[in-house]
């Protein structure tokens, strides 16, 4: 135990540098995936066939390709097309796009769960499609969407470790580097696990809070 504490004080500063990048990647890709997911979802529920089919196509392509391959594509293939990104940028964009598909499906479920009568009532007082979305559908959908959204956040926090495959020195990669140079696998990976857990706890509380709230009438 004493050895562990000694290792901890030695490795924590380096690991916290990894934590910083993990948080950066998670928040960056969370914002991007939310915005893109909202766009796909609104396109998906459009009554214009071509718009909704385009969105369905995009979602399926994104869903059908492993996140790791999307990251490789953005980081290693884009430079050939003249777009060079730093590893951090590529990680945020890659994870953001990859997760936008799941966000979109969640948002769409929320939008479609809203009673048709709500939309008709909005139309009957002269609201157009966009105002109906903005004033009537989305505010009600948010409540339904928040608990699964929290779960997606937790998944994204953990999947940010995939950024290590394109050299982003986030928490998992920092841990691996320290472990391979010191051979103190037990101490290092225990610390890494604890740090991920600590970051997850606020998100888990967030989900529980909104699940309770959504359960109320």
Partner 1 sequence: MIELKDIRKSYGSFEVLKGITASVEKGEVVCIIGPSGSGKSTILRCINGLESYNSGEILVEGQRVDRDAPSIVSIRTQVSMVFQRFNLFPHRTVLENVIEGPVFVKKEPRKEAIERARMLLAQVGLAEKADAHPPQLSGGQQQRVAIARALAMQPKAILFDEPTSALDPELVGEVLGVMRKLADDGMTMVVVTHEMGFAKEVADRVLFIDGGVIVEQGPAKDVLNDPKHARTQDFLRRVLHPL
Q: For partner 1, which is the closer residue by CB, 85 or 214?
A: 214
Q: Which two tokens stand for residue 108?
A: 């769409």
Q: Which of 52, 54, 89, 140 binds partner 1 (CB under 8 A)?
A: 140
Output DSSP code: residue 80: G
Q: How far is the CB of 135 from partner 1 (least distance, A)?
A: 6
End-to-end CA distance of the chain: 50
Q: How far is the CB of 30 from partner 1 (least distance, A)?
A: 25
Q: For partner 1, which is the closer residue by CB, 69 or 131?
A: 131
Q: Answer whether 29's CB lies under 8 Å from 71's CB.
A: no
- 151 forms part of the interface with partner 1 (CB under 8 A): no
- 135 forms part of the interface with partner 1 (CB under 8 A): yes
- 136 forms part of the interface with partner 1 (CB under 8 A): yes
Dist. CA 152–CA 135, nearest whole Å = 25
- 215 forms part of the interface with partner 1 (CB under 8 A): no
How many Cβ atoms from other residues are within 10 Å of residue 47's Cβ?
A: 7
Chain centre to alpha carbon of residue 109: 17
Convert residues 89-128 into a mask of x (bound to partner 1 by CB under 8 A) and - (unbound). Answer: --------------------------x-xx-xxxxxxxxx
Closest CA to 104 of 57, 167, 165: 57
Dist. CA 134–CA 119, nearest whole Å = 11
Q: Quick check: helix, strand or coil at residue 209?
A: helix
- 144 forms part of the interface with partner 1 (CB under 8 A): no
Q: Answer whether 39's CB lies under 8 Å from 52's CB.
A: no
Q: For partner 1, which is the closer residue by CB, 20 or 143?
A: 143
Q: For partner 1, which is the closer residue by CB, 46 or 140?
A: 140
Residues in contact with partner 1 by CB under 8 A are 115, 117-118, 120-128, 131, 135-136, 139-140, 217
């Amino acid at each position: 135990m004493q050895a562990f504490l000694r290792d901890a004080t030695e490795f924590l500063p380096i690991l916290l540098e990894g934590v910083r990048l993990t948080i950066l990647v998670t928040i960056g890709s969370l914002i991007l995936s939310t915005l893109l997911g909202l766009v796909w979802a609104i396109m998906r529920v459009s009554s214009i066939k071509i718009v909704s089919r385009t969105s369905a196509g995009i979602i399926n392509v994104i869903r059908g390709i492993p996140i790791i391959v999307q990251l490789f594509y953005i980081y290693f293939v884009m430079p050939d097309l003249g777009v060079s990104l730093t590893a951090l940028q590529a990680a945020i964009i890659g994870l953001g796009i990859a997760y936008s598909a799941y966000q979109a499906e969640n948002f769409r479920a929320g939008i479609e769960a809203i009673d048709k009568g709500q939309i008709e009532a909005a139309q009957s007082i002269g609201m157009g499609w966009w105002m109906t979305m903005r004033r009537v559908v989305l505010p009600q959908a948010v409540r339904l969407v928040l608990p699964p959204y929290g779960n997606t956040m937790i998944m994204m926090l953990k999947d940010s470790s995939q950024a290590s495959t394109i050299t982003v020195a986030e928490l998992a990669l920092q841990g691996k580097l320290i472990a391979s140079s010191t051979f103190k696998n037990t101490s290092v990976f225990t610390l890494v696990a604890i740090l991920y857990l600590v970051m997850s706890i606020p998100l888990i509380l967030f989900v529980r809070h909104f699940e309770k709230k959504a359960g109320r009438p």
